[in-house]
Amino acid sequence: MKKIRIIVFADPVCTWCWGSSPIVRALEYRYGEHIEIEYRMAVMIDDIATYNNRRLQIGGEDIELSNRNILAHWLEASATHGMPVERHNFHLFNREFRSTAPHCKAYIAATHCCPVNSNGDKEHRMAKHYLRRIQEATAAEAMHTADPEVLIDLSAVCGFNPQDIREAMESQEVNRELRLQHEIAQNYGIESTPSYVLRCDDREAVINGFCSYSTIENYITDISCGDITPMTVGKEKKEFLTANCDNVSRFIEHYKSVYPVEIATTFGMKRHSGHSALNIESFELLPDIINELRKNNRIAITPFANSFRIYSLNKEKSNTRSKEREFAGIF
């Protein structure tokens, strides 16, 4: 079977990597087994005290000024990409913890600690869940994830043994792999995160920087010579990409918790002109679908940072109330 392999170069602290989550989920959901997504880490800030982004006035010895300017940038970006950002108690860096390298090491450590599947390969689903949890905790909960101890604690929520993650993060093997992934990014000429490398058979394409879902879909069509397209029919032999209650409910059940922009991106819902991407009302068809699902007790909604989190109440899919609380961001 022909497949597209997409390598995403990312830093868990990059707001545009967080903002690309709807695109990645839409690709996974729409292309299914025809697509394989992998992450490579590219450290964005080695040391905030020596970092220098003059345009955004981020970097330098005044770390609190950098924190304020990072928050201002993230809030502005979130209105565009639609993923939530928490403004209260935001303090990403301090004198002791000044780098995004621990976030990158944590993800690589998770890939080393993942269980092995029946083919003898590492099953990276848990690591991807952990990456999203780091992003969400950083951006939408304002947790101080620059502290490695916070990253280690977060790993337990995703099913890892925290001590295994700690030992892996401190290992020479993970340090070497982080350096290698940085070198690979440089060899591809990666200048910003997220960036993408698409491979199909012997063809390859590079997308440097944040882009729209439609841009990546066009690259997939081109690089696969039109052989790989979104799957419109699911395992139940029913059309599953039309924006209706059943299909949106199925999408929410699949990911357990989602944000409005993730539904809109996956089902091609247009955003109303001039509206922020953070709200349910911003997208055509979405308010009516969400209202119907809520009325039938299939979903619940909680305000979350500057957006809303939507999660499934399907008891056949959500095993326990504790899991529902986890997906609702309650610990």
Residue 317: pLDDT over 60: no
Q: What angle do CA 96, 101, 102 make, to 5 degrees?
A: 70
Cβ pair 324, 302 in contact under 8 A: no
Compute the distance between CA of residue 260 and CA of residue 271 in angstroms, rounded to an integer.
11
Residue 319: pLDDT over 80: no
pLDDT tens figures, 193-242: 999 999 999 999 999 999 999 999 999 999 999 999 998 887 776 798 99
Side chain identity at residue 41, one-letter code: M
Residue 121: pLDDT over 80: no
Residue 63: pLDDT over 90: yes
Tell me the average pLDDT across 131-153: 97
The CATH number of the domain covering residues in 245-327: 1.10.10
CATH topology of domain 4-187: Glutaredoxin (3.40.30)
Cβ pair 282, 276 in contact under 8 A: yes
For residue 106, the 8-state DSSP code is: H
Q: Where in the chain is the domain with CATH 3.40.30.10?
A: 4-187
Compute the distance between CA of residue 203 and CA of residue 276 in angstroms, rounded to an integer.
37
Tell me the average pLDDT across 74-82: 97
Q: List C-alpha distances in Å: 214 to 205, 211, 225, 266, 304.
A: 15, 8, 16, 11, 27
Q: What is the mean pLDDT of the chain?
A: 92
- The residue that leads in pLDDT, 192 or 321, is 192
pLDDT tens figures, 3-48: 999 999 999 999 999 999 999 999 999 999 999 999 999 999 999 9
DSSP states along 183-202 = HHHHHTT--SSSEEEEEETT
Q: How confident is the model at residue 123 (pLDDT cuts 50, 70, 90)?
A: confident
DSSP states along 193-254 = SSEEEEEETTEEEEE-S---HHHHHHHHHHHTTT------B-TTSSB--S-SHHHHHHHHHH
Specify the pLDDT at position 318.
44
What's this model's pTM, rounded to 2 decimal places?
0.92
Q: Where in the chain is the domain with CATH 1.10.10?
A: 245-327
